[in-house]
Homo-oligomer: A and B are copies of this chain.
Amino acid sequence: MFKHIKDMEYTVHVDRPDPRFANLLLEQFGGPHGELKAAMQYFSQAVGCNNPQIRDMLHDIAAEELSHFEMVGECIAMLLGPTDKVSRDFPAIHMALLSGGPPITNCMGAPWTSAYIETSGDLYTDLASNSTAELRAKLIYERLLQQTDDAGVKDMVRFLLSREESHNFSFMQAIETLKGTGTDANFRDSEFSKKYMNLSTGVGDSRGPWNQGNGIQYEECPNEKYGGPAQYGKDRGADSKGEVGPGYNDKTRNNPQYTQPKPITPNVPGQENQMH
């Protein structure tokens, strides 16, 4: 259950209205790296989580992100100032039209969508996703700091920025306890998980630890070694590697004579296909 307390988690103190900055700050209210996104990502992960300890952490941080969502919202509302009569060049006129509170959009007016949420249901992966969500949120706050001179607002933004670092750190620590589980199990144990395909070529081609060392094989033309045209046919077994040759054959989609096989679908009596 959620309880709301009529205090901010941290002081929200605005010197005077600044509708231009109010509009920019929307990015962290209803934007892709903002507080609602963080709260909803961690909360929905908590709901699906069967590990009580990690679930506790997800609920702790989700509740704090909701509290940040409130701080950012209150700050926007105060920066917006009165909107009952605004001049023609009011820098947040769409908020004045909708009047009063902050809309749940980014700073360009795009509505918040749960498409922003990156969740997989695997704890190792989800905590990794969360740790990077915190980094992105921190960055936006760093850039927002450059866009205001209001000392109270700057103080609040610095607090939020620090909290993102704190959450990032917690997620990283928790990941350590999950090493070797989930997506981290049996990791990089196949032939193809140790290759690097150099598919962008020309002046500027570079080598670094990401494509050399650590048993990495560097390849240029994987299609010539492993690929060929897409085709139907008997499944390629372990001992039939050479069966499917490159180029045209009668099961190849590039072949003009190619005919698609019939799908296998159940027969439902009385529902035969009909032409019009």
A111-B114 in contact given A74-B230, A263-B17 (Cβ < 8 Å): yes
Do the beta carbons of A2 and B1 come within 8 Å of each other?
A: no
Do the beta carbons of B171 and A202 come within 8 Å of each other?
A: no
| Complex-state Cα separation, A183 to B141, whole angstroms | 11
Tier of interface size on chain A:
35 or more
Do the beta carbons of A16 and B261 come within 8 Å of each other?
A: yes
Do the beta carbons of B152 and A235 come within 8 Å of each other?
A: yes
Measured between beta carbons, the chain B residues less than 8 angstroms from A120 are 33, 98-99, 135-136, 139-140
Please give the distance in Å from A141's CB to the nearest CB on chain B. 9
Do the beta carbons of A146 and B274 come within 8 Å of each other?
A: yes
Do the beta carbons of A229 and B6 come within 8 Å of each other?
A: yes
Given contacts A11-B226, A48-B99, A99-B122, 14 further A-B contacts (CB under 8 A): A4-B60, A7-B246, A10-B223, A40-B104, A48-B102, A52-B253, A55-B204, A59-B199, A87-B273, A120-B136, A129-B135, A146-B276, A163-B195, A171-B210
| A239 beta carbon closer than 8 Å to chain B | no
Copies of this protein chain in the complex: 6
Chain A 235-276 interface residues, beta-carbon cutoff 8 Å to B:
235-237, 244, 246-248, 253-256, 258, 260-268, 271-276
| Complex-state Cα separation, A187 to B169, whole angstroms | 10
A99-B117 in contact given A15-B233, A64-B199, A226-B11 (Cβ < 8 Å): no
Measured between beta carbons, the chain B residues less than 8 angstroms from A124 are 135
Do the beta carbons of B136 and A125 come within 8 Å of each other?
A: yes
What 10 A-B pairs have minimum CB-CB distances, sorted nearest first? A48-B101, A108-B109, A99-B121, A6-B202, A151-B235, A100-B121, A17-B263, A59-B200, A81-B263, A48-B100
Measured between beta carbons, the chain B residues less than 8 angstroms from A143 are 96-97, 99
